[in-house]
Structure 1
């Protein structure tokens, strides 16, 4: 059993150091366990240990079975014992994490104290079909075959700016707005796409003075008076409520939906099911309070 646990952790985490740290053993003990497992199986599982672990074809096949076995034991024990714990890996964008999700996670931990959350913050699309993450929160995009998507809310997008600049822009028409002031944008909420959703393809916006991949960066630049940014209203709510940003124009265009995605085969797992139900309730409660205004 300790050999199986060592192999599962090593293959999942990708480095000897991380696997040894999770298991609380030395690197040499971990390597010894892998060697013992390969000897008993009479097949090589690891092609390379450094800088990152590379599995053989037999190792990849065996890992799928071992991973399900180890996870099943942990989740079965979670159902039987009130002292056992299970992990849940989440993947979200920086903006979603800091502006909406992180402040709500203490409530989830209080409700489910035996689920250990591991949060990965990335702009990339996490692989929910492999072993990269259990649940990913995404903006737009299509659910891949083999996945299940839980809708959270339909986003709305509008121009925002620091209070003084927003007051100057509020009465202007769209043409003056997109040509007369510095524009800021995140790649997910581009001015050209927003105008197209409004049916104003005829207005070619000026080049943004700042185009960022981090929504926080874009909103902070707008709050500092550097220009007008397009913002998803639900995520920009903390800035609007604090008075750091205000609506810079009355026009609002529909955005894409936010949704939580997981592998369909994981829906019956207790941690995944608990998190998806909690997340849907949080999104519905936020909408009821006018969180997208």
Structure 2
């Protein structure tokens, strides 16, 4: 029995020579010298104790045994190549999206099955944080960050412009609204993350008002918690329009004042080697926002 472990290189060399009927062309394709290639063919013929090629003056031709072997070797290597391609196609890839907690809660997690259906071969990982992101580490494929732009050494694309609006539960009676008595729900993620001072104090000051002494207030450091407090009817919060767009569209929350505060914007951050999956994920994110905001 022929030991395939020792003759696979020779069989591959044989296939290339049989396809080209030229040692020179085959050696160029295999990055071998003609002498090395000739040695492999000779060794295969010795192992099989068969003559595979007839060497003529200016050309070579396959012997009947060579024709038979070539047909089966070609089929075998084609099947191996096909199997390797299928394995690559089935191989699951991990794609990590890092974004702010509100964007993860309101725009990624509820719709993630849609994204998974678009890319069944991809395993998605969602990382939520306000912290600056270092894309050079290779930990993240796509970052969605809330800021003022100007990110260095990255591909930066605007995802959405934002503003902060005063929001209440849908059943709140605006006829009874007294800005000196209404319970205020504060959300603050720290000046290191939001340096524009988007807060109730600024909102009141811009309208020549002030928060009354003794006015009921509660403070949260997570915007998601402030949203839940408003949904529970506990007061009015100053919230990102992007973060609460779904609630506004479905009528569970409503804006109770035309006065808004300018804020920062959402940006996509990627590296130069972004692939088709990352590009398509960005398109999907834009479409989800567009369908709600427009």
TM-score when normalising by structure 1: 0.59
Question: Which residue is 1:115 aligned to?
Answer: 122
Shift of 1:145: 1.3
- Kept in 1, the 8 Å contact 2:245–2:292? The answer is no
Q: Distance in 1 between matches of 2:86 and 2:185?
A: 49
Aligned length: 201
Question: Which residue is 1:129 aligned to?
Answer: 136
Matching of residues 190-269 of structure 1 within 5 Å:
190-194=199-203, 199-200=206-207, 202-205=208-211, 209-263=217-271, 265-267=272-274, 269=275
Cα distance change of structure 1 residues 244 and 280 upon mapping to structure 2, 3 Å threshold: closer
Q: Distance in 2 between matches of 1:260 and 1:167?
A: 37
- Kept in 2, the 8 Å contact 1:157–1:253? The answer is yes
Shift of 1:260: 1.6
Q: Distance in 2 between matches of 1:285 and 1:224?
A: 26
Q: Distance in 1 between matches of 2:227 and 2:278?
A: 32
Question: Which residue is 2:164 aligned to?
Answer: 157
Cα distance change of structure 1 residues 205 and 130 upon mapping to structure 2, 3 Å threshold: farther
- Kept in 1, the 8 Å contact 2:249–2:292? The answer is no
Shift of 1:80: 9.3
- Kept in 2, the 8 Å contact 1:93–1:121? The answer is yes
Q: Distance in 2 between matches of 1:145 and 1:79?
A: 39
The answer to whether 1:281 aligns with 2:287 is yes
Deviations 1:219-253, CA, capped at 9 Å, x for gaps: 12122232210122232133334543222223234
Question: Which residue is 2:107 aligned to?
Answer: 100
Q: Distance in 1 between matches of 2:250 and 2:86?
A: 43
Q: Distance in 1 between matches of 2:128 and 2:223?
A: 13
Q: Distance in 2 between matches of 1:151 and 1:78?
A: 37
Shift of 1:193: 4.0
Q: Distance in 1 between matches of 2:246 and 2:286?
A: 20
Cα distance change of structure 1 residues 208 and 275 upon mapping to structure 2, 3 Å threshold: farther
What is the RMSD computed on CA atoms of the aligned residues? 3.0
Q: Distance in 2 between matches of 1:187 and 1:144?
A: 23
Q: Distance in 1 between matches of 2:85 and 2:236?
A: 50
Unaligned runs of 5+ in 1: 1-76, 171-175
Shift of 1:117: 0.9
Question: Which residue is 2:145 aligned to?
Answer: 138
- Kept in 2, the 8 Å contact 1:129–1:147? The answer is no
